[in-house]
Chain A
Amino acid sequence: MTKYAHAFVVGLQSNLVYRWNFAVRSLFSLSHLVVVFVLWGAVFASRASVGDFTFAQTLTYFVVIFFLQFFVGAFNEDYLISEDIRNGLINQFLLKPINYFAYRMSVFTAARVVSGAMGLLALAIALPFFHGYLALPHDGWRIALGIPAMALTGIIQFSIAYCFGLLSFWFLEIQGFILLSMAVETVLGGQFFPLDLLPQGVFAVVRFLPFFYQAYFPAAILTGRQGYDFAVQGLAIQAAWALALICLAEFIWRRGLRRHTAAGG
């Protein structure tokens, strides 16, 4: 366990070097909130509610999504893993008593601490403009269930990125796959619109997909878009997906290693 704690500390230090990159990125990402503000402001101009939610509740949802992206979202982990494989850096992990998934997860956690802090900083800057439009519920259970949901979201986000990174065992270029997955995740993860606005039949199917738990689910708990029973059921499904994706990652890792050729000294 100590070695992964060291990996976390080293990850923290190396990510602090790039704190300005995260800061600039988070500030630019604020413009997405401006797009949301303009678009949904226009939608709500002619009506008080959409899908039983007010403008403030909808904007709060997107602010929480913004926070989640920086605090538990995968950024470039797939690319880093791909680079390790393509450049042969993976060999050093094969020769040491270290689990590559756990190592990368430690570095991912460290990176999210830094990017999460920068995301919060950006939100603090934007708060004077948005605070009049925010409406967070005050139920204690939402925090109690929202925190484990966020942790599981982090595991799901990382595991999916990890699996895509491992595709480099088979393919030289994986950027296309990553962007394909990103498009699917953007819609089915609820980053473009709250998923509860989908037709009921579609929503009933989407809630069983892993993407649902990549952003929408914790945001829906924290912003009051879903009730207690839904949250408890969802947490069980989310935990199942997290476990399944960890198993899938291990499976792909083992299959990939069979194809891997380590050369040189």
Chain B
Amino acid sequence: MGSPSYYLRIWLASARYSLVRATMFRGDLLIWSSVELLWISVNVIMVGVIYSHTSTVAGWSMYEMLILVGTSMVVQRFLMGFFWSGIFEMGRNVRSGAFDFVLAQPGDPLFMASTRKLELDGLLNSVVAIALVVYSARKLGLHPGPADLALYACMLACGVVIHYSALVLAMSLSFWITSSQGVEGSYFTLMEFSRLPREAFNRGLSVIFVWVLPVVVVSNAPARALLHGFQASWAAGLCAATLAWFMLSVFVFRRGLRRYTSASS
């Protein structure tokens, strides 16, 4: 097992390769960036339409809601930018046997599989999502200090880890089932909940979407930190969920790896 600097060098090499690839297919980059931008706009339009008929939703004003939606998108765009392609291809590669290529590489298989490609369009649009958060914060007259921003960034990172873990878990199913095609769709469906405020859930649904699945906490915790400052209960909940989900995903991935029987499977 290599040191962190060893993995950093591998990741930088992958990043350089992805950058070169993206500049070779500029048309693709433009179209996919537009796709991402349009989906961000779709969500902003929806918030705008809803708030043209009401002033608050579950106690959240329009700009507070936009901070929540923007935060959810930042997390999702970082996931798409840094890990999506690698994890998405993992399912197909396990089925076809091309996962051998990953196993033959000198590094941890999960790291090698999930960091192979960077998607520039996702990363470019994370800037748009951040701009949405900044704009909404200014509209609310928020002036977060460096400590608040650092806390927000840490919580975003936790959110990315949780999303990453959920996706690895879902795609690890390909070690057990013949085809994991469409599993990514279920991931996107579940992540719709991350754009909803915690207060909107009644007691029964809270159990599932707040406590069992971490889909609400990933966006609500950082958004609340930005809006209301540090809240120990939310921070603790997010850290616990991050640790639990990451450990679970690594465990399931490694169990699945034992079942992998190479190209002839």
Contact = CB atoms under 8 A, between A and B. Distances in A.
Interface in A185-219: 186-187, 192-193, 197-199
A197 B47 CA distance: 12
A39 B57 contact: yes
B3 interface: no
A41 B35 contact: no
Which residue, of A42, A46, A179, A197, has the highest number of chain B Cβ atoms within 10 A? Answer: A42
Interface string B39-63: 1011001100110111011100000
Given A29-B189, A31-B190, A41-B200, A179 B35 contact: yes
A21 interface: yes
A95 interface: no
Interface in A22-78: 24-25, 28-29, 31-32, 34-35, 38-39, 41-43, 45-47, 50-51
Contact of B42 (A21, A25, A43, A186): A186
A197 B31 contact: no
Contacts of A179: 35
A212 to B, nearest CB: 15
B186 interface: yes
A46 B199 CA distance: 13
B8 to A, nearest CB: 32
B31 A38 contact: no
Contacts of A39: 50, 57, 196, 200
B193 interface: yes
Given A39-B57, A180-B34, A197 B52 contact: yes
Range of interface residues on A (Cβ < 8 Å): 20 to 34
Given A42-B199, A47-B54, A197-B49, A183 B38 contact: yes
A50 B196 contact: no
Interface in B1-55: 28, 31-32, 34-35, 38-39, 41-42, 45-46, 49-50, 52-54
Given A24-B182, A176-B35, A193 B189 contact: no
A184 interface: yes
Contact of A38 (B28, B38, B205): B205
B38 A184 contact: yes
Nearest to B199: A42
Contacts of B193: 31, 34-35, 38
A170 to B, nearest CB: 12
Nearest to B121: A176
Chain A to chain B: the 5 pairs with minimum beta-carbon distance, closest first: A176-B31, A42-B200, A183-B38, A42-B58, A179-B35
Interface of B: 28, 31-32, 34-35, 38-39, 41-42, 45-46, 49-50, 52-54, 56-58, 182, 185-186, 189-190, 192-193, 196-197, 199-202, 205
29 contacts: A21-B182, A24-B182, A25-B185, A28-B186, A31-B189, A31-B192, A34-B193, A34-B205, A38-B196, A38-B200, A39-B200, A41-B200, A41-B202, A42-B57, A42-B200, A45-B58, A50-B54, A173-B28, A176-B28, A176-B35, A177-B31, A180-B31, A183-B38, A186-B42, A187-B45, A187-B46, A192-B46, A197-B50, A197-B53
